[in-house]
Structure 1
Amino acid sequence: MKAPHDNPTLVLEGLVCSSGGPRLDLALRAGECVALLDLDDGSQGLAPLADTLAGHVSPVAGRIVVNGADVTFDEIGRRGVATVGRRDPLFPPLTARENVAFPARARGASAKEASRSASEWLALLGLERVADKRPETLGAGERIRTAIARALASEPSVLVLDDIFVGLDGETRRDLHHRLARLRLARGLTLLLITRDRADALAGANRIGVVAEGSLLQLADAGTLIERPHCARVATAMGDANVLIGLILSLDDDAAQVRLAAGGVADAMADPDLREGDLVELCVRPAQIAPMFPRGAMRDDDEGLLATLQDVTHLGDVLRLRFRLEDGADVIVHRPPGSLPPGVVAGRPARLAWRPGGALVFPSTTKQR
């Protein structure tokens, strides 16, 4: 993936799109794709963001800066931003070619020039075969690609994609991600992707912003979000982390010993603001947990968290094991196929363990409330 340029193309400075909505502070460099993963519903989430960036509605607070110019209150179509989403359907009476030619014609280009430009964008998005078809005859993926071609024909500095993958089958989604990646490489396209699906955020973004509880919780590359999340919400959203409630027994620099509500003591890396006696949420990803199945009777001094295997699901390249702890909480473990010892079935007792660096503890949200 081509590295983005240094100069910011889009800057959001303290942008709030609705009452109770998240405050957004971020900058997109030319050629970069940033995905905003929206975990909220209603006014707390990102539903109004695309309309605000396009100019359909005014923000509650903050600024929108494109290529160094404040466009917060500029007219629609004069902001250097194009959007593709539910608000931007294709024009039903027009063919795909005529839809894509529309922005150039609106700028005063001749029919010949607009058609030439439309043909170029249609070719880049693999739509030559359907160029003269009307929207109702196109497949779902073809309609989305036509809408993207039309948006790009307006020559925007930033393209905003608002939940465009919803309702598409897996093959169509993969194809669309592939075509967008090629466009970024070929044209230095700057993308802001708004989505509720982690897989779509991970598929092509340089950085991902996780939005929940009315806040932008963390903005970073995928590896950082998964390995070094700022809070339990990010850990669960990006790494499918199991969350266990506990109490800090002791701290040694950034290492903590935690007495778990489910029983037993576990080691983990600690948030720097934690203190002994704090109520915490211990987060550990499924792949970090090693299940042990002793052959004899369980002893109280055995290491690990006592659990009972509930079921095993084969997911292709990984086995999903669901365990139940003594307090009734479930823990998910991922293991490679063929890694379980013979005779491991539902109902088998086990001990669950992980290396200290494989788990993180954060202040409990229960405590914060």
Structure 2
Amino acid sequence: MTQPAAKPVIIEFRNITKRFGPVVAVDNVSLAITEGEFFALLGPSGCGKTTLLRMLAGFETPTSGQILIDGKDITREPPNKRPVNMVFQNYAVFPHLSVRHNIEYGLKMEGVGADERRDRAEAALSLVQLEGYGERMPDQLSGGQRQRVALARAIVKRPRVLLLDEPLSALDAKLREELRFEMSALQDKLGITFVMVTHDQDEALALASRCAVMHKGSLMQVATPADLYEFPATRLVADFIGSVNLFEGRVLAEEADHAEIELPELGIKAWLDHGTGSSETLQIWLALRPEKVELHKRSNGEGPPTLEGTPAGYNVVKGTILDIAYLGSESVFDIRLEAPEGREPKRIRVIRPNLTRWDQEDFTWDENVWVGWHAEGAHVLLA
């Protein structure tokens, strides 16, 4: 069976740096985005992601480096000469124009005839599920509908690349979730390369085929959403993507198929069913996602549970439930772990899915429990 051919690169950032006076907003970033990707630039405010997008759009000029689209250097090209279109955070819909005339506006500026403009506008309205809304005015639309108009106006020009600047941030949570599915389906149908800026991890993980996490102007990691979540490259990435429990440790034994980790903060040893790629005695961080941690009842006189696939005596620590948050589909537990003498107790967050209507009644406040995780559940970070 042959492997599918790799898609060609459509966008290249080559050693891009952007300075605003003494401030380095983007620091020597090199990045390649392939054709047809839904690519997300992800990071906290001030990390450089929006500046990078604006340089791709032509609204900012790099201090140094090159930007290429389809192999052509467009670093100094004005925005209207680039094969891109942009959807802004605040929609930027013209309030005095009808929905159809909003969508047709860019085509009219390019000299496209009236009949073709109307046909393409109607097709774009159909793609964003706004058939029959062409004659309405923007103030007659909801926020979600106005965002769809902005999308339609961008895609009607058939750009090679569509840029999205925090496209869903102005919408309420339920509508954001709804539009995520619609945008993903739209991008798949059109085959256009989407590049999105967002600080919302859930949005990036749900929509993107790959994500780039940025921090202080630099790229920290570029990977698929699953790899970012399951195999973060650094503590910073692990902490930014979702929720994570981090414990300092030391590698005691390292083999190709397993590793033994000492966790002095907890007074226990951890067992991994894979090697870590690090040398013995090296200081590391053990990362545990809350949903990969289990709670077990703790009765007086009973020893710790043995977890399937994990040697007895590993990956289990005593704890006491401090708080419980019931979130419908899941419950979140804040647990104080028992600490060795002379150390401050650590806390751990645990997420349990509520698979039945009575799951939340299994554990209660101030209950003593065993906290454990399976050998494949933890990830080792070196930085």
Q: Normalising to structure 1: TM-score of the pair?
A: 0.87
**Gapped runs of 5+ residues in structure 2?**
305-311
Q: Is the counterpart of residue 9 in structure 1 residue 10 in structure 2? A: yes
CA contact (8 A) 1:4 1:31 kept: no
Shifted more, 284-293 versus 94-103: the winner is: 284-293
Q: Is the counterpart of residue 189 in structure 1 residue 201 in structure 2? A: no
CA offset digits 1:21-66 (Å, max 9, x no partner)? 354333332222111221x322x33121232111111013322211
Residue identity opposite 1:333 in structure 2: V
CA contact (8 A) 2:249 2:263 kept: yes
Q: Is the counterpart of residue 231 in structure 1 residue 234 in structure 2? A: yes
**Alpha-carbon deviation of 1:362?**
1.8
- Matched residue, 2:307: none
**Gapped runs of 5+ residues in structure 1?**
365-369
Q: Is the counterpart of residue 324 in structure 1 residue 336 in structure 2? A: yes
**Alpha-carbon deviation of 1:81?**
1.2
CA contact (8 A) 2:89 2:168 kept: no
Residue identity opposite 1:294 in structure 2: R
Give the RMSD, CA atoms, in angstroms.
2.8
Residue identity opposite 1:232 in structure 2: R
Q: 1:5 to 1:242 in 2, by over 3 A?
A: same
Equivalent-residue separation in structure 1 for 2:105 and 2:321 (angstroms) = 60
Q: Is the counterpart of residue 350 in structure 1 residue 369 in structure 2? A: yes
CA offset digits 1:195-217 (Å, max 9, x no partner)? 11112112222112222343222
CA contact (8 A) 1:91 1:99 kept: yes
2:80 aligns to what SS in structure 1?
coil
- Matched residue, 1:142: 145
Equivalent-residue separation in structure 2 for 1:343 and 1:256 (angstroms) = 32
Q: 1:273 to 1:264 in 2, by over 3 A?
A: closer
CA contact (8 A) 1:4 1:29 kept: no
Describe how 1:57-96 pairs up with structure 2 within 5 A: 57-86=60-89, 89-96=92-99
Equivalent-residue separation in structure 2 for 1:47 and 1:188 (angstroms) = 23
**Alpha-carbon deviation of 1:355?**
2.5
- Matched residue, 1:172: 175
CA offset digits 1:137-164 (Å, max 9, x no partner)? 3211111111111112232100011101
Q: 1:118 to 1:245 in 2, by over 3 A?
A: same
- Matched residue, 2:277: 272
- Matched residue, 2:318: 306
CA contact (8 A) 2:89 2:170 kept: no
Shifted more, 246-255 versus 198-207: the winner is: 246-255
CA contact (8 A) 2:244 2:289 kept: yes
Equivalent-residue separation in structure 2 for 1:22 and 1:275 (angstroms) = 34
**Alpha-carbon deviation of 1:5?**
6.8
Identity of aligned residues (%): 27
Q: 1:244 to 1:53 in 2, by over 3 A?
A: same
Equivalent-residue separation in structure 1 for 2:121 and 2:5 (angstroms) = 26
- Matched residue, 2:41: 36
1:296 aligns to what SS in structure 2?
coil
Residue identity opposite 2:379 in structure 1: L
Q: Is the counterpart of residue 294 in structure 1 residue 298 in structure 2? A: yes
Equivalent-residue separation in structure 1 for 2:275 and 2:164 (angstroms) = 37
Equivalent-residue separation in structure 2 for 1:362 and 1:185 (angstroms) = 34
**Alpha-carbon deviation of 1:103?**
1.0
**Alpha-carbon deviation of 1:323?**
0.5
Deviating beyond 6 angstroms after TM superposition, the runs of 4 or more aligned structure 1 residues are 298-302, 339-343
